[in-house]
């Protein structure tokens, strides 16, 4: 057995353990009774320790060296797989085991404190445990910076988006920060000059919402032989590519939230389902990174399903599902409804015009926190100033301010930028897709998503992480990732300019 | 850290892996889309290999020796835990790894062939793969017989019921085989002299059946903070003690099957939920064996829920759930329905009078198969003769004859006897419980199962496997396991004699 083959066998094992953990985590959110929590934590922690032991086995390091020396004999995909193995290995081996454990314990403890602090709007109670998380995050960043030869923040970013950096974010965010405030004002003016969207009145039975979600999922190409739709408090996509589990949550007084949630997660799911089956269980068979993943959910939700072509297809199904009639249920009104621009406090409720401002604020603050340029005690005030400046809104409470997201309490620094880079990538990919296959848009209008799916399969899904995100975007769209397609999309949708 | 503490830590790890596997297996049966099968098989196989590696680590053997030498310092439960660790270790180490793998592969292949062979009533097609399973089962039996110093069949029995043996089964089964044919004739005569049970006519909506099941589960003491009820093709109890997952299957034209299934699995679930929490994850914290487990499901289903006191409590709920009225829904008729005696072909459909005959037949045949006294080609004929002799029924097809059970194709030899020993144990335990706490039966009639549950917790559940099955039965009932209580129960219920 060659070193490469030995490695492939070892990574297949850690891949299977990772798959088991993914199913257990899905179960925890979608099925598990509360009292099963301790047992589940023990199961997942045990598997995670075993995975870490396998990944830090000294023999693995030897095999990687051996295989890299002999990599000339490997084909492109195997070479890419070896590169990804090294990347995964580097992350696992950059940190001493006790730091990994300390970080995960501190994050778990801080998450608990955060839940209470957010509920009680009590930032002060959050400070001590968040101070500890930030201290350990800095240690992690320093260790990874040292191991990877990168700046500390950039080292953390690698956990979510390999190859990205603050420098690459800055170019994009500076551009958007200059563009968006003016654009937002224009879009609001344009909106105000037109009839206000009428919100359809419920109740909307959960069973009907679910049926509708299943119908659209099927139309989009979700394969129920390899996946499920369930309910959880926070919607997500879990499981493994052969068995993708998506979730949503229902409210009887509003169907749009659950439905758009389902469509968003369906975008994630289609990516997972389309990953190269022959590389299943190997690092190169996984999704490229969080930017590409988010691009797939936003392409489906924002680019496709909030657009007029989809609404033309969907409107009769919506009316039939809920017995809707009258002005609230026309295509025009639904289109207005699905593109309402409303600057607000909460990131997850934000429309696509305002969303980047939420991300830019967090990006600036998390860099300042990590660098020590911003003290935790000053976070709430700086947050308020930022929201005023970027979106013109006044933040009344920390609950709806700097305490709203789980990312920082759980130790995720460097994740937020991927949301907006995903949105830009979605716009650029969809623009390229429409140009390359003229059947895509007419298809959407008739509920035939096969052309769209075929393009995504060929240009994104089936590539796994054989190439870097930048190369993938360039290959699919003919240009590096930029803001032009996103801006064009915003102008078309929100100003009616083409 | 003492050798014992080191062992406890290692077994905690294998226990957590076992818990993860239990959840994954539950998911496979209750949730997983079909296309997830290969990935799931890979996940479970990987965890099972890791568990085997941990259990055959030479250091574990050293620690067991060390701890056993120093066991004088341990308290009773720790000593029992050490004994159970050794038992688990012996099973894992009795077989070479390639035999474990060959057995599991042959069983998986034979199960696939068996499904088709049963569907097509084609015993001949089943012979080659079953020959291979039997060959490997003999090898396993020989290896374990050698390791444990037992006869081959007895060595296999240890996998399901530690301490049991053919000799102990023979005493019981010879007694029952002498008693049952005469009793069955009497019971049928008694039944024929009375009004026939009227079968309530459906349809019975699944949602109403489920609600009713949940109501009775709650009344019996099933804790939904630590468990769930779902649907699967073959009902079972899975998960871990902190998070017990039971399943049933529904038919719209009959509610009794699903309901009795739920009550049966609830008995299993209450046992798991009542295991000693402080020993969770350790071998001594597990259920004692299959006899005791089956006794708990049969105590709830057969002893309690098919009895008149329960029916008095349940009848109004049944009528309310299904809008039932008229003669089919009286207590008397429901009681007749739930104790109908009907000799038939299928074990899983058998009433409690006929059930032991099904088990005795299989016990005789599996011993003969294993010993080579019965050739596989002669199995169908011998089966027909046995059914004629023991139950007086004519077997028309192998599908409803020797091909009906999954046990043999999957390599389970020595399991069947535990069903009937469980039934005897249930009768003996319930008789003792009623004697020791006079509030139990009146409680059942009022839907108050707390007295029953308290007795089971104290006398069975909370003991885990601290003591042997025999000792547990003796402690709870004042006598070793015998047939007297079971016979008395049958006479009371089916002949109306007390």
End-to-end CA distance of chain A: 59
pLDDT digits (tens, 9 = 90+) for B137-150: 999 999 999 999 99
**Region at A496 (left for phi over 0; alpha for psi -120 to 50; beta for the rest):** left
- How far apart are the C-alpha atoms of B338 and B323, rounded to whole Å? 19
Q: What is the residue whose two structure tokens read 């688990």?
A: B88
> What is the β-pairing status of strands A237-240 and A227-231?
unpaired
Are B43 and A17 inside 8 Å of each other by CB? yes
CATH number belonging to domain A3-150: 1.20.58
Q: Percentage of residues in chain B with pLDDT exceeding 70?
A: 100
Are A243 and B36 inside 8 Å of each other by CB? yes
- How far apart are the C-alpha atoms of B95 and B139, rounded to whole Å? 9
Please work out, in degrees rounded to the nearest 5, the angle formed at the alpha carbon of residue A475 by the alpha carbons of A469 and A479.
85
Tokens of A77: 């995909």
Chain B contact set for A25 (CB, 8 A): none
Which distant-in-sequence residues (6+ apart) come within 8 Å of A251 by Cβ?
A: A257, A258
To the query of whether residue A265 is one of the catalytic residues in this protein, the response is yes
pLDDT of residue B318: 97
Q: How many CA atoms lie within 13 A of B461 on its CB side?
A: 23
| Integer CA distances (angstroms), B35 to A31, A263, B115, B191, B235, in order | 20, 22, 19, 49, 21
Common-topology check for domains A3-150 and A151-498: no
Task: State how far residue B247 is from chain A, nearest Cα, in angstroms.
Answer: 14
- How far apart are the C-alpha atoms of B97 and A418, rounded to whole Å? 46
Q: What is the residue whose two structure tokens read 């909030």?
A: A306
Task: State how far residue B270 is from chain A, nearest Cα, in angstroms.
Answer: 15
Are A39 and B19 inside 8 Å of each other by CB? yes
Q: What are phi and psi of A233, to 5 degrees?
A: -60, -45
pLDDT mean over A445-463? 98
Residue B400 has pLDDT above 70, yes or no: yes
Q: Which of A35, A227, A228 faces B242 most closely, judged by CB atoms?
A: A35
Class of domain A151-498: mainly alpha
pLDDT of residue B80: 98
- The answer to whether the beta carbons of residues B225 and A34 sit under 8 Å apart is yes
Task: State how far residue B446 is from chain A, nearest Cα, in angstroms.
Answer: 28
Q: Which of A13, A226, A280 faces B33 most closely, judged by CB atoms?
A: A226
Tokens of B33: 């889309």
Q: Where are the domains of chain A?
A: 3-150, 151-498
Please work out, in degrees rounded to the nearest 5, the angle formed at the alpha carbon of residue B299 by the alpha carbons of B412 and B389.
55
pLDDT digits (tens, 9 = 90+) for B475-488: 999 999 999 999 99
Class of domain B112-498: mainly alpha
- The answer to whether the beta carbons of residues B150 and B160 sit under 8 Å apart is no
- The answer to whether the beta carbons of residues B113 and B125 sit under 8 Å apart is yes
ipTM score above 0.90: yes
Chain A contact set for B286 (CB, 8 A): none
**A424-440 b/e (C-beta count within 10 Å ≥ 16 → b):** bbbbbbbbbbbeeeeeb
Q: How confident is the model at residue A420 (pLDDT cuts 50, 70, 90)?
A: very high
Average pLDDT of chain B, as a whole number: 96
Higher pLDDT residue, A299 or A37? A299
Chain B contact set for A12 (CB, 8 A): 42
Chain A contact set for B227 (CB, 8 A): 33, 35
- The answer to whether the beta carbons of residues B241 and B272 sit under 8 Å apart is yes
Chain A contact set for B38 (CB, 8 A): 242
Task: State how far residue A377 is from chain B, nearest Cα, in angstroms.
Answer: 39
Residues in A lying within 8 Å of B, measured between beta carbons: 12-13, 16-17, 19-20, 23-24, 27, 31-36, 38-40, 42-47, 50, 223-228, 239-243, 280-281
Chain A contact set for B20 (CB, 8 A): 20, 24, 43-44, 46-47
Helix (H, G, I), strand (E, B) or coil at A247: strand
pLDDT of residue B233: 87
pLDDT digits (tens, 9 = 90+) for B339-354: 999 999 999 999 999 9
SS (HEC) of chain B? CCHHHHHHHHHHHHHHHHHHHHHHHHHHHHCCCHHHHHHHHHHHHHHHHHHHHHHCCHHHHHHHHHHHHCHHHCCHHHHHHHHHHHHHHHHHHCCCHHHHHHHHHHHHHHHHHHHHHHHCCCHHHHHHHHHHHHHHHHHHHHHHHHHHCCCHHHHHHCCCCCCCCHHHHHHHHHHHHHHHHHHHHHHHHHHHCCCCCCCCCCCCCHHHHHHHHHHHHHHHCCCHHHEEEEECCCCCEEEECCEEEEEECCECCECHHHHHHHHHHHHHHHHHHHCCHHHCCCHHHCCCCHHHHHHHHHHHHHHHHCCHHHHHHHHHHHHHHHCCCCHHHCHHHHHHHHCCCCCCCCHHHCCCCCHHHHHHHHHHHHHHHHHCCCCHHHHHHHHHHHHHHHHCCCCCCCCCCCCCCCCCCCCCCCCCHHHHHHHHHHHHHHHHHHHHCCCHHHHHHCCCCHHHHHHHHHHCHHHCCCCCHHHHHHHHHCCCCCCHHHHHHHHHHHHCCC
Are A27 and B32 inside 8 Å of each other by CB? no
Tally A–B CB contacts below 8 A.
Answer: 108
Chain B contact set for A39 (CB, 8 A): 19, 240-243, 280
Helix (H, G, I), strand (E, B) or coil at A465: coil
Average pLDDT of chain A, as a whole number: 96
Task: State how far residue B276 is from chain A, nearest Cα, in angstroms.
Answer: 14
User: Mutation test of the interface with chain B: which of A20, A274, A280, choosing the one with the most B Cβ atoms within 10 A?
Assistant: A20
Q: Which of A20, A34, A40 faces B24 most closely, judged by CB atoms?
A: A20
Q: What is the residue whose two structure tokens read 């920390």?
A: A398
Helix (H, G, I), strand (E, B) or coil at A340: coil
- How far apart are the C-alpha atoms of A148 and B459, rounded to whole Å? 60
Residue B498 has pLDDT above 70, yes or no: no
pLDDT digits (tens, 9 = 90+) for B237-273: 999 999 999 999 999 999 999 999 999 999 999 999 9
Chain B contact set for A20 (CB, 8 A): 20, 24, 43-44, 46-47
pLDDT mean over B116-133? 97
pLDDT of residue A19: 98
Q: How confident is the model at residue A101 (pLDDT cuts 50, 70, 90)?
A: confident
* Sign of the alpha-carbon dihedral angle for B25, B27, B30, B33: negative
> What is the β-pairing status of strands A227-231 and A243-248?
parallel
Are A226 and B27 inside 8 Å of each other by CB? no
Torsion angle, CA of A279/A284/A285/A286, rounded to 10 degrees? 160
Residue A498 has pLDDT above 80, yes or no: no
Of A131, A127, A98, A129, which Cα lies nearest the Cα of A112? A129
Q: Which of A27, A35, A42 faces B27 most closely, judged by CB atoms?
A: A27
- How far apart are the C-alpha atoms of B439 and A452, rounded to whole Å? 69
Q: How confident is the model at residue A381 (pLDDT cuts 50, 70, 90)?
A: very high
Are B239 and A36 inside 8 Å of each other by CB? yes
Determine which one of B265, B272, B294, B466 is catalytic: B265
pLDDT digits (tens, 9 = 90+) for A296-315: 999 999 999 999 999 999 99
Strands annotated E in A339-481: none
Of A271, A267, A270, A250, which Cα lies nearest the Cα of A259? A250
* Chain A residue with Cα closest to B39: A242
User: Mutation test of the interface with chain A: which of B25, B42, B227, choosing the one with the most A Cβ atoms within 10 A?
Assistant: B42
User: Mutation test of the interface with chain A: which of B12, B14, B34, B35, choosing the one with the most A Cβ atoms within 10 A?
Assistant: B35
Tokens of A449: 């998503």
Q: Which of B34, B223, B228 faces A31 most closely, judged by CB atoms?
A: B228
């Amino acid at each position: 057995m060659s070193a490469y083959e030995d490695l492939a066998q070892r990574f297949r094992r850690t891949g299977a353990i990772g798959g088991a953990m993914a199913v257990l985590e899905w179960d925890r959110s979608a099925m598990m009774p509360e009292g099963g929590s301790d047992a589940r934590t023990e199961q997942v922690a045990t598997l995670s320790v075993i995975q870490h032991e396998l990944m830090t086995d000294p023999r693995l390091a030897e095999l990687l060296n051996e295989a890299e020396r002999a990599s000339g004999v490997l084909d492109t995909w195997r070479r890419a797989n070896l590169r990804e193995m090294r990347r995964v290995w580097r992350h696992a081996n950059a940190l001493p085991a006790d730091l990994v454990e300390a970080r995960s314990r501190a994050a778990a403890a801080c998450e608990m404190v955060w839940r209470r602090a957010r509920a009680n709007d009590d930032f002060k109670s959050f400070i001590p445990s968040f101070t500890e998380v930030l201290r350990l995050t800095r240690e992690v960043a320093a260790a990874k910076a040292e191991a990877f030869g990168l700046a500390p923040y950039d080292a953390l970013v690698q956990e979510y988006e390999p190859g990205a950096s603050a420098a690459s974010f800055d170019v994009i965010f500076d551009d958007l920060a200059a563009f968006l405030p003016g654009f937002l004002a224009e879009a609001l003016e344009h909106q105000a000059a037109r009839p206000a969207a009428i919100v359809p009145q419920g109740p909307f039975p959960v069973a009907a919402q679910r049926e509708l979600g299943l119908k659209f999922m099927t139309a989009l190409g979700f394969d129920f032989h390899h996946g499920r739709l369930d309910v959880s408090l926070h919607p997500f996509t879990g499981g493994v590519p052969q068995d993708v589990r998506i979730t949503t949550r229902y409210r009887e007084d509003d169907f749009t939230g659950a439905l758009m949630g389902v469509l968003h997660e369906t975008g994630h799911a289609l990516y997972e389902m389309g990953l190269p089956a022959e590389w299943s269980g190997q690092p190169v068979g996984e999704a490229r990174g969080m930017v590409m993943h988010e691009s797939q959910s936003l392409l489906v939700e924002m680019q496709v399903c909030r657009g007029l072509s989809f609404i033309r297809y969907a409107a009769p199904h919506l009316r039939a599902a809920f017995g809707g009639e009258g002005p609230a249920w026309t295509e025009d009104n639904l289109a207005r409804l699905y593109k309402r621009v409303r600057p607000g406090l909460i990131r997850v409720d934000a429309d696509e015009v305002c969303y980047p401002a939420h991300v830019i604020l967090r990006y600036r603050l998390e860099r300042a926190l990590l660098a020590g340029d911003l003290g935790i005690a000053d976070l709430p005030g700086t947050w308020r100033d930022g929201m005023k400046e970027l979106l013109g809104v006044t933040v009344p409470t920390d609950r709806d301010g700097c305490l709203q997201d789980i990312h920082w309490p759980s130790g995720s620094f460097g994740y937020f930028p991927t949301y907006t880079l995903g949105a830009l990538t979605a716009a650029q990919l969809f623009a390229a897709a429409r140009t390359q296959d003229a059947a895509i848009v007419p298809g959407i209008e008739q509920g035939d998503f096969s052309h769209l799916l075929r393009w995504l399969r060929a240009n994104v899904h089936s590539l796994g992480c054989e190439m870097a995100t930048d190369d993938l975007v360039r290959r699919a769209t003919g240009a590096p990732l930029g803001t032009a397609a996103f801006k064009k999309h915003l102008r078309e949708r929100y100003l009616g300019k083409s």
